[in-house]
C-alpha cells in the first residue's frame, strides 16, 4: 500500500432533516421514514439497513403527519386533508382520497379486513375499504369532541381505539358508536390539558396509552377501567410500539429515554380493578438513552427497535447483544460529492444548491517527514468558487461535475439542467446550456454522469431509457431501455460508466445487474437474493466490483464475462466480522498505484482488500492497520503496522460520505461533523442535573 496525501474535508455541513414518523412493513422488511422536508425514505431492513428509494417532498402542497403500510402499499395523511397512496415505481403520489373535516392526524390499517381508519381534526373517524384500485369510502363513525390524535385496531377488526385530549374511546365499528369513554385521572390538576399522543390495542383487549403527562397507562378495553399507570418520563410520551408477540412495549418522547416494559405472568390474586388471577401484567424493564432530542416515532421489526426524532438520526437498537447503530440523514443522498480531478475541485451537493470548492495545496510534497495524525501545513486553503442554486429552489436528486471542470449537471423532479463553467478569469462565469434534447425535460432523472474525458453525459430516467448525450453537439448518441427488453424490473439504484466509455453498468432494487457495451446488451450478472449497495468499474483492468446489502463482494471481468479468480475464492471465505457489520457500503475506490487494492467505505470505516494476500479464517478478527495511538481503546480489532491478510481497516471516521483518488499521489476524504447537525437543530428539552447550574 502506497503513501498518499489525503485532503480531509470536514466543512461539508448538509442540513439535518428531523424524522417525523416511521412505519414498518414486516413481511417485506421495509421501513418508511418521513422527514421534516416532507420527503419519504424507504429503507430495506432485510439485511444491512440501507435506503432503497426516496420520495422527494413538497412542503407547500403535501405535508406528512402519519404513515402506514398495507402489504407493499404505503399510505400517508397530512394537513391537506387527504390520504395519499404512493407509487413505488414512479416515486410519486399514485392517488389521493379526501377525508371528512380537515387535517388527517393518524392512520391505522387492519390487514385481514382490508380496512383503513383515518382520524381527523374535527373528531371524525373515516373508514375506507382498501381495494386493488385504491381506497373506497366505507363509513363515518360518530363524531367526538376535539381532534383525534392516535388510533389503533384490535386484532379482530371489530373494534377500534382512539386517543384525544383527556380521553380514550373504544369503538364498535359495526354500530358506529363508542362503547367506552375512558377519561384520564380527574384528580390530577393537569388532566383536562393532557393529550393522548399514542395508543396500542392488544389481542387480550389491553389498551396502552402514552400521554403528555409522561404516563404510560394500561386499560381494560372490555370494561373501560384503568388498571395502572406508570410515570416513565418527565415530559410528553410521543411514541410507543408493541412487539408482534405482544410481550414487549417500548415508549419514548420529548424526554428521549426509551423505556421498555415486559409482559409477565402474575399468579396471585389481584384487586378488582386489576387483572384477574393468573393473567399477565406489564413490568417496567430497561431504560436506554439513544437520541439527543425528542423521539417522535418508534417501530419494531422482530427484536430490532428503530427510532427517530429531532436529532435526525435513524437509530437501530437491540439486545442481545447490546447494540446501537445510528444512521445519519446523509445516507439518503445518492451523489453528495463529485470530483473535477483535472483541476482539483470538488462539487458538494446540498438540498437545493451546489457548491464548487477548490482544494488546498501543501507546502511540501514530501509526506515522509509528517506523521499520520498531525497533518501537512497548507500553502493555500480550500476556497469556495461557485455557489449554484437549483431552479425554483427545487430539491436536487443528483449532480455531477466534469473532470475538466467545464460542465456541471444536476437533476430535479422536473428536469435536467446542464451548465458550462469558465474558471480561467478572476470571476467564474456560469452559463446555462438550453438546447438540450427534449427527453431530458419529460421525465424524472435519478442519475447523471459525465464521462472521464468530459465528452459524454449519461442521464438515467426513472423507469425509462438511459440517454447518452454528446456534449459537443448536444445530441443523443444512443439510448438503451432496460425495461422494454425485460433486463430490469425496478428502480435503477446504481450506475457506472467505464473510463474507456465502452461499458455502462446499472443495478436495480430487484438485484439485477446489467452491462451494456457500446449501446448493446453485453452481459448480466447472476441474480443474487439481495440488492447492491455499491459498485465500481476498475479504470484499467475492466473489472466490475459489486457489494450487496449483506456485505458479500463479487468481482466480474467485463471482457471475459465471468467472475474473477479472487471472486471465486472469496465467495465462501468472507470474514464473519465483515458480514456482521450494520452499516451499508456506500462507495468503492481503486488504488491508483496498486491495481490489487480495493477500498470499501461506509459511514464509519474504510476497509482495504488486497487481492494478492491470503484470506484469513472466517472467524478471525479483521486487523486494523496502523499504530494503536489511544491507550484506552476498547476496540476488538487488532492494530498492526502491516497486514498479512487480504482484509484490513485503515481508519475510523465519523459520517464519511466520500473517499476517492485525485491522482497518483493524493486522495480526498469528505466527512460530516456530527456537531454540525446539532447546531442547526431546534433546542431540545434538557433535564436538570444535580450540582450543575
- The structural domains of the chain, ordered by start, are 1-14+484-629+639-684 (2.40.128.630), 15-266+279-327 (2.130.10.10), 338-361+381-480 (2.130.10.10)
Give the model's pLDDT for residue 690.
62
Of 647, 624, 603, 679, nearest to 316 (Cα)?
A: 603
pLDDT band at 414, cuts 50/70/90? Answer: confident
Give the model's pLDDT for residue 146.
87
DSSP-assigned letter for residue 369: T
CA 38 centroid distance within chain: 14
Residue 209 clears pLDDT 90, i.e. is over it:
yes
Q: What percent of the chain has pLDDT over 90?
A: 76
pLDDT band at 373, cuts 50/70/90? Answer: low
Residue 335 clears pLDDT 60, i.e. is over it:
yes
- Three-state SS for 333? coil
Of 350, 347, 441, nearest to 386 (Cα)?
A: 347
Residue 363 clears pLDDT 80, i.e. is over it:
no
- Show the cell assigned to 362: 501543501
Q: Is 517 exposed, middle or buried (0-12, 13-18, 19+ CB in 10 A)?
A: middle
The mean pLDDT value for 254-258 works out to: 94
Of 33, 662, 95, nearest to 312 (Cα)?
A: 33
Of 5, 91, 112, nearest to 509 (Cα)?
A: 91
Query: Given the DSSP bridges, would you call strands 5-9 and 666-671 parallel, antiparallel or unpaired?
Result: parallel
Lowest mean pLDDT among 274-278, 615-619, 660-664: 274-278
Give the model's pLDDT for residue 637.
39
Give the model's pLDDT for residue 634.
35
Give Cα separations from 4 to 1, 372, 479 (angstroms). 9, 10, 39
Give Cα separations from 405 to 14, 313, 381, 429, 437 (angstroms). 23, 34, 19, 12, 22
Lowest mean pLDDT among 485-494, 514-523, 649-658, 681-690: 681-690
Residue 276 clears pLDDT 60, i.e. is over it:
no
Give the model's pLDDT for residue 681.
83
117-156 confidence digits (pLDDT tens): 999 999 999 999 999 999 999 999 999 888 999 999 999 9
pLDDT band at 436, cuts 50/70/90? Answer: very high
DSSP-assigned letter for residue 566: H
Give the model's pLDDT for residue 304.
96
If you average pLDDT over every residue of the chain, what do you get? 90
Residue 640 clears pLDDT 60, i.e. is over it:
no
The mean pLDDT value for 353-371 works out to: 76
pTM: 0.93
Report how far residue 595's alpha carbon sits from residue 614's, in angstroms, rounded to the nearest whole number: 16
Residue 638 clears pLDDT 90, i.e. is over it:
no
Give the model's pLDDT for residue 692.
53
CA 518 centroid distance within chain: 34
**Full strand arrangement of the beta sheet holding 125-130:** 104-110, 115-120, 125-130, 135-140
Lowest mean pLDDT among 193-207, 219-233, 636-650: 636-650
Which one is predicted more confidently, 187 or 119? Answer: 119
DSSP-assigned letter for residue 107: E
Amino acid at each position: 500500500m502506497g503513501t498518499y496525501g489525503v485532503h480531509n474535508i470536514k466543512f461539508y455541513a448538509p442540513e439535518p432533516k428531523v424524522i417525523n414518523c416511521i412505519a414498518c412493513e414486516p413481511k417485506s422488511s421495509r421501513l418508511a421514514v418521513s422527514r421534516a422536508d416532507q420527503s419519504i425514505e424507504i429503507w430495506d431492513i432485510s439485511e444491512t439497513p440501507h435506503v432503497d428509494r426516496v420520495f422527494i417532498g413538497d412542503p407547500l402542497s403535501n405535508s406528512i403527519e402519519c404513515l402506514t403500510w398495507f402489504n407493499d402499499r404505503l399510505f400517508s395523511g397530512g394537513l391537506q386533508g387527504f390520504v395519499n397512496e404512493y407509487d413505488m415505481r414512479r416515486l410519486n403520489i399514485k392517488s389521493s382520497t379526501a377525508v371528512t373535516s380537515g387535517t388527517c392526524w393518524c392512520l391505522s390499517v387492519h390487514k385481514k379486513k382490508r380496512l383503513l381508519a383515518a382520524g381527523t381534526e374535527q373528531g371524525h373517524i373515516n373508514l375506507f375499504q382498501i381495494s386493488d384500485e385504491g381506497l373506497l369510502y366505507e363509513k363515518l363513525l360518530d363524531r367526538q369532541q376535539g381532534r383525534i390524535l392516535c388510533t389503533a385496531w384490535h386484532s379482530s377488526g371489530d373494534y377500534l381505539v382512539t386517543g384525544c385530549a383527556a380521553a380514550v374511546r373504544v369503538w364498535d365499528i359495526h354500530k358506529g358508536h363508542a362503547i367506552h369513554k375512558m377519561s384520564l385521572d380527574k384528580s390530577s390538576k393537569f388532566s383536562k390539558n393532557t393529550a393522548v399522543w399514542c395508543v396500542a390495542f392488544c389481542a387480550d383487549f389491553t389498551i396502552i396509552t402514552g400521554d403528555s403527562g409522561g404516563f404510560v397507562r394500561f386499560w381494560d378495553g372490555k370494561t373501560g377501567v384503568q388498571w395502572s399507570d406508570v410515570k416513565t418520563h418527565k415530559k410528553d410520551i410521543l411514541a410507543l410500539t408493541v412487539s408482534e408477540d405482544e410481550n414487549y412495549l417500548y415508549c419514548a418522547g420529548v424526554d428521549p429515554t426509551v423505556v421498555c416494559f415486559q409482559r409477565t405472568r402474575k399468579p396471585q390474586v389481584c384487586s378488582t380493578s386489576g387483572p384477574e388471577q393468573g393473567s399477565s401484567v406489564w413490568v417496567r424493564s430497561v431504560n436506554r438513552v439513544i437520541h439527543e432530542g425528542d423521539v417522535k416515532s418508534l417501530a419494531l421489526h422482530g427484536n430490532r427497535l428503530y427510532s427517530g426524532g429531532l436529532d435526525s438520526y435513524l437509530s437501530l437498537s437491540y439486545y442481545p447483544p447490546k447494540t446501537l447503530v445510528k444512521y445519519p440523514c446523509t445516507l439518503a443522498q445518492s451523489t453528495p460529492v463529485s470530483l473535477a480531478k483535472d483541476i482539483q475541485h470538488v462539487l458538494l451537493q446540498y438540498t437545493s444548491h451546489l457548491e464548487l470548492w477548490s482544494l488546498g495545496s501543501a507546502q511540501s510534497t514530501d509526506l515522509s517527514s509528517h506523521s499520520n495524525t498531525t497533518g501537512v501545513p497548507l500553502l493555500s486553503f480550500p476556497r469556495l468558487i461557485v455557489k449554484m442554486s437549483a431552479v425554483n429552489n427545487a430539491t436536487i436528486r443528483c449532480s455531477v461535475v466534469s473532470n475538466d471542470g467545464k460542465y456541471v449537471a444536476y437533476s430535479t423532479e422536473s428536469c435536467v439542467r446542464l451548465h458550462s463553467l469558465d474558471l480561467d478569469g478572476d470571476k467564474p462565469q456560469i452559463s446555462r446550456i438550453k438546447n438540450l434534447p427534449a427527453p431530458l425535460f419529460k421525465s424524472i432523472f435519478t442519475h447523471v454522469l459525465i464521462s472521464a474525458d468530459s465528452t459524454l453525459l449519461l442521464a438515467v430516467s426513472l423507469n425509462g431509457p438511459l440517454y447518452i448525450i454528446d456534449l459537443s453537439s448536444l445530441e443523443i448518441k444512443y439510448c438503451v431501455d432496460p425495461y422494454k427488453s425485460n433486463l430490469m424490473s425496478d428502480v435503477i439504484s446504481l450506475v457506472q460508466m467505464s473510463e474507456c466509455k465502452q461499458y455502462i453498468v446499472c443495478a436495480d432494487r430487484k438485484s439485477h445487474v446489467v452491462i451494456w457495451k457500446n449501446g448493446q446488451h453485453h452481459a448480466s450478472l447472476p441474480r443474487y437474493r439481495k440488492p447492491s449497495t455499491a459498485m465500481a468499474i476498475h479504470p484499467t483492468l475492466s473489472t466490475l466490483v459489486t457489494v450487496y446489502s449483506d456485505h458479500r463482494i463479487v468481482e466480474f471481468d467485463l471482457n471475459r464475462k465471468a467472475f474473477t479468480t479472487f471472486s471465486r475464492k472469496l465467495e465462501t471465505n468472507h470474514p464473519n466480522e465483515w458480514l456482521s457489520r450494520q452499516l451499508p457500503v456506500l462507495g468503492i475506490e481503486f488504488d491508483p498505484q496498486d491495481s490489487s487494492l480495493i477500498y470499501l467505505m461506509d459511514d464509519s470505516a474504510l476497509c482495504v482488500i488486497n487481492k494478492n494476500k491470503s484470506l484469513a479464517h472466517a472467524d478471525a478478527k479483521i486487523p486494523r492497520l496502523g499504530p494503536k495511538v489511544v491507550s484506552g481503546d476498547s476496540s476488538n480489532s487488532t492494530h498492526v503496522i502491516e497486514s498479512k491478510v487480504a482484509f484490513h481497516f485503515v481508519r475510523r471516521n465519523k459520517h464519511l460520505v466520500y473517499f476517492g483518488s485525485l491522482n497518483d499521489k493524493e486522495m480526498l476524504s469528505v466527512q460530516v461533523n456530527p456537531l454540525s447537525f446539532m447546531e442547526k437543530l431546534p433546542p431540545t428539552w434538557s433535564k436538570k442535573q444535580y450540582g450543575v447550574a
